[in-house]
Chain A
Amino acid sequence: MIVGLLSRAVLMSTPLLYGSIAEVYAERSGMMVTAIEGIFLIGAWAGFTGSYLTGSLLIGLIWAILGGLLLSALYGWITVFLRQHQVVTGTALNILAVGICAFFQRVIFGVPTTPLTIKPLPQLAVPLLADIPWIGTILFRQNILTYALYLLLPVSIFILYRTSLGLTIRSTGENPEAVDVAGISVVKVRFLTVLLAGIMGGIAGSFYSIGYLGMFADNIIGGRGWIAFAICFLGNWNPKGALIGTVVFGLAEALAIYMQSLGGQSFFPNELFIALPYLLTIILTISRRSYNVPAKLGEPYVKEN
């Protein structure tokens, strides 16, 4: 039972980690991608629709990436180039995303009597590693997106802390003027990190539809984009912290699903466990003492002249 729970926790952590690493990149450059919830949703819808219509999960994934990219480009254009307020813009785009997804879902599929389903990404057992007792089942009987994450995490740490690009991104969030004076375009850095967040957010969203549910529903994301957003804060704007955060939340979600499966046998009401990740977000956010906030997070860069 423990192994099953942990395996499910890794599954549930995967999209949250994609989302929170996406936020880490963007926020380190000073951009809060508050459209992340909408990007998740577009990713989930485009991933499902692409897969359903073409029968190819790969094409679905590509659609999801394009969907996330599109919404983040819109967000980036409004906040970076037009210098509009990030929270307001993100909120507007999140509402827009709900409308777009619901609308095109009806236009394309009408109102089917039985839910449309696809076969989700298969579990792939990694040869040898999957046979390790406990750990093998937990870590190495997952789908391809989870495995990609095993690579993305160390690569992100390397990029952020050991490369010129990472130094530029981190400096842009701390003091954009220094970056400008060093001859690097602040606008370009910020727009690119937002696009990167869009790609990763799109993948994260598609994980819910084509990663394991095999279907799409209007409320499929249900605030998980915001949880990824919060994890970035809680993880102190670095990928390692994001990993710890996502594991905690993944566990909470897995536990909620497990408790639901027990049905009436549980002493605690189900709803409490469904609310667990959200309660955790609030509790952890207010109980964190010191933050390492990028100094210019959320502030548009206005050059004189």
Chain B
Amino acid sequence: MTKADLDQLKLERLMLNSRRTFLTGSSAALAAAFFGSTEVAAAAAGSKKFSRPTDQPLATLPPQFPARAKRVIYLHMAGAPSQLDLFDYKPELAKRDGQDTPLSFLEGKNFAFLTGIPKLMGPQYPFKQYGSSGAWFSDRLPHLAEHADKICFIKSMHTDQFNHAPAQMLALTGQSRFGYPSMGSWISYGLGTENQNLPGYVVMLSGASAPRGGKQLWGSGFLPSVYQGVQCRSQGEPVLFLDNPDNVSSAIRRQVLDTLNEINQSSYREFMDQETLTRIAQYEMSFRMQAEASDVFDISQESEKTRVAYGADPQSESFGKNCLIARRLVERGVRFVQLFDMDWDSHGQDEASSLKHNFKNLCHGIDRPIAALLSDLEERGLLEDTLVVWGSEFGRTPMKEEANGQKTPWIGRDHNPSAFTVWMAGAGVKGGYTHGSTDEMGYEVADDPVSLADFHATILYLLGYNHHDLSVHFQGLDQRLTGVHHPRIISQILA
């Protein structure tokens, strides 16, 4: 069988699998996805580059192609959790625990902190297989493990940045440098948002610090600022400047807005400036947003049972509370919800960064909330068209980190850009499936490497976009989330 024959067969199977979703006009998109060639894609699809009417910055637009996913909840574990102690089970590494790292692992490598010849370190927690798919989980995520058959793992992610800030930017904006729009911005730009009374792209943080990549992780780069993620807080005013000043009642505000509308109408009659009409509409929207945003962030409306399942306490900030709010947001049509959970940088330099210590609390902090989120989305029928993504900026080394050769009770691993694990669940992805693998030490990708560009292109694909076409001309180039790369859609993970 020639390669062309094989490709043809694979294509047919892919189309068969996806027939349910792609009834019309889809073969070109699939071909593009399959061949991963942008030239072929554009030619085959005969599609035009995306452009959005400037006067409707957030209006809902149909995707380029019919899509399974309508919205995204993206869970980023900032600092990089150890995949070797959560999902990527390596029995051979366990056997070689304490041995010197082979020199071949160290040659030509840059590390953030490792020096000299470090020791290999096996998994720190027992692993077991779960679900009918037999996916591996360590005992740190028992509740999530119950959802093994909903989850699609990619264990062969790799990146080329080994410091947090640039790696986070690369993971979330497609570039390791400043000035580029984040994934959520691109998606809001492409699809708009379904609920005009709420920001279309919401970001929430949990944990003791803020992500090192800073606000550019949800920034709009060279896209208009209306596409930047709106950082919301689960305590106090959820959206900045949302609440009326103390002595202004909603009734007075209404009166002010009515008067303002009259005056602005007369400006419009004089200047016939379309922007004036937009402004009138935006003032009205701000009024509705005040009601709706306060409502969506009010988790006291949820049953006690639900709040307990998420581990969400109305009185304090937590990842669990953010997960519950994320569900409430997507339920109301928010396009992209991005949660950052902090402090996963397990170097083992102190208790907070030790795999045997604070790491347990961190795992505990996400285990029930994510499990509850997946159940809740499923029960409400939202998992059908909501894509849940769990990931980070890189992985961690199979080598034990000892700063300057010092002996401490703390245990940690250094940054590993060569291999890490992410997972997806929900709209359009295969549950109970694992794509790609690492070598027996979990150090390098062994099979089916997936770059961040591939990963981004696949997410855009699930949302109905050929990554190549969602572009904006800036600084002499057609800029895209996937930059100048030629990514491949990870067709194997598509349901």
A in complex with B: no
Please give the residue numbers on chain B whose beta carbons come within 8 Å of chain A beta carbons, in ascending order: none
Please give the residue numbers on chain A whose beta carbons come within 8 Å of chain B beta carbons, in ascending order: none
